[in-house]
């Protein structure tokens, strides 16, 4: 969900936003947005590994995984994997 946010989650859980953020930081050792982006990258990787991304561009894959921009997708992908999405895709599917 591209619109998933800490505010929306806090409203759904009926917990003040700052309390939820603090809880996530303390218990998970990461920020809410880092956790969300990590899950989005894991989803992109899973799609790449199954080949379900073969008919779309990497930019479209990023959007499908919840990123607003191509640059955000590439930035977080490289932070998480150490590779660009294109490099990663070539390594797992060198066709």
Give 39-70 pLDDT, tens digit per residue: 999 999 999 998 877 788 999 999 999 999 99
User: Band of the pLDDT at 95, cuts 50, 70, 90?
Assistant: low
Q: What is the mean pLDDT of residues 18-43?
A: 94
> Which residues 6+ apart lie within 8 Å of 59 measured at CB?
70, 73
- Enumerate residues 6+ apart whose C-beta is below 8 A from 32: 6, 9, 20, 21, 24
pLDDT of residue 94: 66
Residue 1 has pLDDT above 80, yes or no: no
């Amino acid at each position: 969900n591209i619109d998933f946010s800490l505010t929306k989650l806090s409203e759904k859980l009926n917990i003040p936003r700052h309390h939820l953020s603090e809880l996530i930081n303390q218990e998970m050792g990461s920020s809410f947005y880092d956790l969300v982006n990590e899950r989005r990258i894991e989803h992109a990787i899973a799609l790449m590994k199954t080949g379900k991304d073969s008919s779309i561009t990497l930019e479209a894959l990023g959007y499908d995984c919840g990123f607003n921009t191509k640059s955000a997708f590439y930035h977080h992908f490289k932070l998480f994997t150490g590779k660009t999405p294109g490099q990663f895709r070539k390594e797992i599917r060198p066709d």
